[in-house]
Chain A
């Protein structure tokens, strides 16, 4: 049986839970993260940042900084490439301001010096003259007629005429007749929602070590989710050929989408080129908040019609996302994911990408989907409450299934939403009694997942062990998953497989570790590379036995004759074939390079219990259950970890995390003391249920699991908190002051 046909459960290694190979390095401090790199003669870089939200740069005087002892180079925008277009031009403008500073924290110059302290002192000596301009940081205000214009050339052809120039992209999609659908409903609810910008909150700040010599050749070590895209982008921004820059990904202390682009890396390269010395830059936490990419803040209107029996007759959503000072807010994903869990005859979704005086947004797990899900699933909850319907039964009644025409157009292949809802209904959590003052919330969520360019190289050693080179940084335990999949194909122990993240000079191109693609795409490529090696092993056995190649097959780590007619030979283990491989044809390795296009979409259902203190507005999440379709869990512990991580980040997003800007347009809370992420004491044990509805596009049925888990939490928590507080919360985060205001407003209305 071909491995590609194997959708069974008779796995030997897949589904087991061995220790991760990089675990010991990480808990003992042996692992090398971004800031751990050193080089002889290394300089330290510091960046000069705008204190203004919106200002024209009149002049930059670097002379005093250059005169400071220990300063070796100073760069401004003039030291970067000219005439870039498209996304590279936006990235460069974000990395180093040109004519205007567009947000508080926008880089305007940088210095390199012999110590970090001297570099910071020198940065303070760079004199920038600004003409302060009016600013705007709120998405609705940025769309208003009188809003300050950031750039009147950014809007593309999709934007309807008559909108403010800050609206730079527009999306609408859907099918059916929503007006007729609303007219046929027994109850229609329309509400408006807002969510504030949140940061991915990775523990490791951005850090890099760059060398760019007089010969035009460069080396870059950095913490990144994708070193090939870092290579391509950095080379373009400093004006060298991509092939002249080798990029090595360090271990990564969290990314969640925020490390899919570059910020300090091109600056370090430019400083290095000018000083002809290696330059290291490490951001502090305040810089991470002020100048890297948080998620978009949103303003949304959602309208849904429902029959008394729970059938949804029509749904419409308008999703306005501000993405900072440049185009790119993921409003099309908000629109396409918003109603995807439901089979709708009449649906319409509209998205607006709006620029404002904030840092350029970056991806954050399932970009755009969690906010849209919050609005949609909140309205469904309101409808269920008013019609006296069970929220899971209503979702089951309307659930998307195989063959359903998705809200974004095409029909679904095999999907597992119904299975997650059935598992939620049967879970003891759903029927457990609530204490007074507690509320329960439910929500579904959807994400597409992604394939992307992928290369894997696998080499067998003489002692029968295996070395695998992948190009996707390990951000969630993927080394373990790759080793398990290779072990399954080769039939050798997990411990005998070493997985290395190769640099850009030693492996073919790899897309970023994003889109929940690594276990799917690098996993598929690992399986195929292992199969390539197995084919070669079978050939060696055939030659050894003097029988045709197709008379040999591979099973349990051994080459075996395919039957009595092939001959009576004892099975030959892998190690015996590799022991002599130098003399029987040379080294044996396997390769696979492709762009897999079978990433299956995935769904999840979350159940949350919360309680609210009406005196203080403080919320506690007291019970949380995540149920999600993983297709096939290669390493269940890391699948559960992804589920729990999504829920934990969702709890922070829903309850406390937000970018707070002052009237002056400056970020008020740029450290973790003021930007409150959940800590262990804020979290309950997050229970998980792995549903496995195999993805037909992967040999073992894998679906990505990294992103779907953050889609349902905002709504599930909002529904629980609203039930506990007795008032509907439509603005995230539901921080204590916001809950108290809602309670007071309701008391006045009542």
Chain B
């Protein structure tokens, strides 16, 4: 399934200037793997830890959250707190 992923603008330099990319993914784990596969320069960013927002719900770490084709998906900095 093709899903569109919005990246934060600082990642443009790692994706050839793209802020929104389309990858093949059924869940959040697939999504991160596909991003690394299609844009290898993102690997250090993703390995350092990222979160994924799906329709506004921020998924801090789960790799098993299912994704839908029409969902709004954002890659975000890894969330933590004090």
The chain A residues found within 8 Å of chain B, CB to CB, are 156-158, 160, 170-175, 256-258, 260, 332-333, 336, 348, 362-367, 406, 408-413, 447-452, 514-517, 595, 597-599, 601, 697, 707
Q: Is the CB of A409 within 8 A of B76?
A: yes
Complex alpha-carbon distance, A707 and B81, angstroms: 8
B16 to chain A, nearest CB (A): 15
- Shortest Cβ distance from A336 into B: residue: B77
A452's contact among B58, B60, B72, B76, by CB below 8 Å, is which? B60
Q: Which residues of B contact A363 (CB under 8 A)?
A: 80-82
Q: Which residues of A contact B10 (CB under 8 A)?
A: 158, 170-173
Q: Could you show 21 A-B contacts with beta carbons less than 8 Å apart?
A: A156-B44, A157-B45, A171-B8, A171-B77, A332-B77, A333-B77, A336-B77, A367-B81, A367-B82, A409-B6, A412-B56, A413-B56, A413-B57, A514-B81, A515-B81, A517-B81, A595-B61, A597-B57, A597-B58, A597-B62, A697-B57
Complex alpha-carbon distance, A517 and B80, angstroms: 10
Q: Is the CB of A514 within 8 A of B57?
A: no
Q: Is the CB of B80 within 8 A of A409?
A: no
For the complex with contacts A411-B55, A599-B58, 15 further pairs of A-B residues with Cβ separation under 8 Å are A171-B10, A333-B77, A363-B81, A367-B82, A408-B8, A410-B53, A410-B58, A410-B74, A514-B81, A515-B80, A515-B82, A516-B81, A598-B57, A601-B58, A707-B82
Q: Is the CB of B82 within 8 A of A257?
A: yes
Q: Which residues of B contact A367 (CB under 8 A)?
A: 80-82
Q: At the interface, is chain B mostly helix, strand, loop or mixed? A: mixed
The interface bits of chain B over 26-52 (1 if a CB of A lies within 8 angstroms of the residue's CB, else 0) are 000000000000000100110010000
Q: At the interface, is chain A mostly helix, strand, loop or mixed? A: loop
Q: Which of B9, B48, B55, B59 has the most CB of A within 10 A?
A: B9
Complex alpha-carbon distance, A173 and B12, angstroms: 10
A706 to chain B, nearest CB (A): 8
Complex alpha-carbon distance, A366 and B80, angstroms: 9
Q: Which residues of B contact A409 (CB under 8 A)?
A: 6, 8, 53, 74, 76
Q: Say yes or no for B21: interface residue by CB 8 A criterion.
A: no
Complex alpha-carbon distance, A348 and B8, angstroms: 11
Complex alpha-carbon distance, A413 and B53, angstroms: 11
Complex alpha-carbon distance, A379 and B51, angstroms: 30
Q: Which residues of B contact A707 (CB under 8 A)?
A: 81-82
Q: Is the CB of B8 within 8 A of A173?
A: yes
How many residue pairs at the A-B interface have CB separations less than 8 Å? 103
Q: Is the CB of A157 within 8 A of B44?
A: yes
Complex alpha-carbon distance, A364 and B72, angstroms: 31
Q: Is the CB of B77 within 8 A of A449?
A: no
Q: Which residues of A contact B8 (CB under 8 A)?
A: 171-173, 408-409
A550 to chain B, nearest CB (A): 28
Q: Which residues of A contact B48 (CB under 8 A)?
A: 156
Q: Which residues of B contact A336 (CB under 8 A)?
A: 76-77
Complex alpha-carbon distance, A517 and B58, angstroms: 14
Q: Is the CB of A597 within 8 A of B65?
A: yes
Complex alpha-carbon distance, A456 and B14, angstroms: 41
Q: Which residues of A contact B9 (CB under 8 A)?
A: 172-175, 348
Q: Is the CB of A256 within 8 A of B82?
A: yes
Q: Which of A448, A517, A707 has the most CB of B within 10 A?
A: A448
Q: Which residues of B contact A362 (CB under 8 A)?
A: 82
A154 to chain B, nearest CB (A): 13
Complex alpha-carbon distance, A514 and B61, angstroms: 15
Q: Which of A256, A258, A411, A601 has the most CB of B within 10 A?
A: A411
Q: Which of A174, A450, A514 has the most CB of B within 10 A?
A: A450
Q: Which residues of A contact B65 (CB under 8 A)?
A: 597
- Shortest Cβ distance from A402 into B: residue: B56
Q: Which residues of A contact B80 (CB under 8 A)?
A: 363, 367, 450, 514-515
Q: Is the CB of B74 within 8 A of A366?
A: no
Q: Which residues of A contact B77 (CB under 8 A)?
A: 171, 332-333, 336
Complex alpha-carbon distance, A412 and B74, angstroms: 12
Q: Say yes or no for B18: interface residue by CB 8 A criterion.
A: no
A509 to chain B, nearest CB (A): 12
Q: Is the CB of B56 within 8 A of A410?
A: yes
A365's contact among B45, B60, B82, by CB below 8 Å, is which? B82
Q: Which residues of B contact A451 (CB under 8 A)?
A: 60
Q: Which residues of A contact B82 (CB under 8 A)?
A: 256-258, 260, 362-367, 514-515, 707
Q: Is the CB of B60 within 8 A of A450?
A: yes
Q: Which residues of B contact A156 (CB under 8 A)?
A: 44, 48
Complex alpha-carbon distance, A516 and B41, angstroms: 33
- Shortest Cβ distance from A696 into B: residue: B57
- Shortest Cβ distance from A258 into B: residue: B82
Complex alpha-carbon distance, A54 and B62, angstroms: 41
Q: Which residues of B contact A452 (CB under 8 A)?
A: 60-61
- Shortest Cβ distance from A449 into B: residue: B81
- Shortest Cβ distance from B58 into A: residue: A448
Q: Say yes or no for B79: interface residue by CB 8 A criterion.
A: yes
